[in-house]
A and B are shown apart, each in its own frame.
Chain A
Amino acid sequence: MNPDEFDLEDQLRQALQPKRAPAGFASKVMARTRAKQPWHQNWNGAITLAMVAGLVMAVVIPVTLASRRQEDRAIEARNQLITALGITKIQIRQVNEKISQRIKRNRPAL
């Protein structure tokens, strides 16, 4: 065998031998990868959060408004009911007074 071939074989073995990565290599790579991420990927989380918040608001606000409107309607209806019963009361009282006055007028003097 040619001595040059031995030499080449050694060189190849040496070149192909696995080498340990220098300390901090992985974190450096990760940092560089993060730095090179496009802007929209960085904003994804914020956009998702905003969308969720928007959805929640879109549900909560109408429900709150509807609830408040229902409460206003109930108060208005209650007030109308009290007014209606109050008017009924006044009318019955007036007719009662008229009947009483008539009874007094028609009562024979003793």
Chain B
Amino acid sequence: MKTTLIFLFTALTAFAQQGFDIKSLDRLGTNAKESTNITLEGDTLKLASSMLANNKDPASLKGMVDKLHGIYVRSFEFEETGKYNQADLEPLKTWLGNQGWTRIVDVKEKKEFTQIWLHTAEGKARGLAVIAAEPKQVTVVYIDGALSMEDIGKLSGNFGIPDMTFKNDGKKLKPESKKEE
């Protein structure tokens, strides 16, 4: 009996540690007008990286992409509201929470919300996830791999995005809004 329980616990722990099956989000787009499904991992990601400019500029994307294990995007746009179920995002949120990811941003408005999750280990970012649910659009971005603060800065700044710096207070990474001018 004790052995069975130990085996069951080990199996459940192993299952919980497995990566989230991003394909399970595809059903969100059943009624979508437009879909973007991107899965880049392993050799495909290396192939994509090989096409990026190979320079030593710290702002170059290649340096960042080379450290990643995978980039997954599911984005669906709908003609009308109510064409997808926000509850379908719950398994992902639960999984992220169970895996020790930190929800660093959670903005809720009337019928929409945006969350940014960060996975850290030994004080370093190991993954970034963005979940944005609007009445007529839902987007999930899941980036698996080592990301430095500079890399996150690149994602939020160097592509023409307003600066969004992250402050590490030793425990959690918090977004620090740019000061109003």
Do A and B assemble together? yes
- Chain A: residues with CB nearer than 8 A to chain B? 70, 73-75, 77-78, 80-81, 83-89, 91-100, 102-104, 107
Report the bound CA distance from A73 to B40 in whole Å: 12
Residue contact B159 to A95, C-beta cutoff 8 Å = no
Query: Is B168 an interface residue when CB atoms closer than 8 A count as contact?
Result: no
Question: Which of B11-19, B41-49, B84-92 contacts the other chain?
Answer: B41-49
Determine if B61 and A80 form an interchain contact, defined as CB atoms under 8 angstroms apart: no
The CA-CA distance from A102 to B109 in the complex, in Å, is 10
Asked if B156 and A87 make an inter-chain contact with CB atoms under 8 angstroms apart, the answer reads: no
The minimal Cβ–Cβ distance linking A68 to chain B, given in whole angstroms, is 14
B114 at the interface (CB under 8 A from A): yes
**What is the total of A-B residue contacts with beta carbons within 8 Å?**
104
Query: Which of A78, A87, A99 makes the CB contact (< 8 A) with B139?
Result: A87
**B residues near A80, Cβ cutoff 8 Å:** 38, 40, 48
The complex places the Cα of A46 from the Cα of B180 at a distance, in Å, of 82
Report which of B52, B109, B160 forms a contact with A98, defined as CB distance below 8 A. B109
In the complex, the answer to whether B47 meets A99 with C-beta atoms within 8 Å is: no
B162 within 8 A of partner (CB): yes
Q: Are the CB atoms of A77 and B47 closer together than 8 Å?
A: yes
On chain B, the number of residues with a Cβ less than 8 Å from chain A's Cβ atoms is 39
Given A99-B175, A102-B107, A89:B155 Cβ within 8 A: yes
Do A103 and B180 contact each other (CB < 8 Å), given the known contacts A84-B71, A89-B155, A94-B132?
Answer: yes
Name the contact of A100 in the complex, choosing from B72, B75, B177 (C-beta under 8 A).
Answer: B177
Q: Are A92 and B107 in contact (CB under 8 A)?
A: no
Asked if B51 is an interface residue, CB under 8 A from chain A, the answer is: yes
Residues of B within 8 A of A98 (CB): 107, 109, 114
| Assembled-state Cα–Cα distance A81/B46 (Å) | 11
Contacts of A97 in B (CB 8 A): 162
A92 and B52 contacting across the interface, CB-CB below 8 Å: no
A-facing residues in B20-77 (Cβ within 8 Å): 36, 38, 40, 44-45, 47-52, 61, 65, 71-73, 75
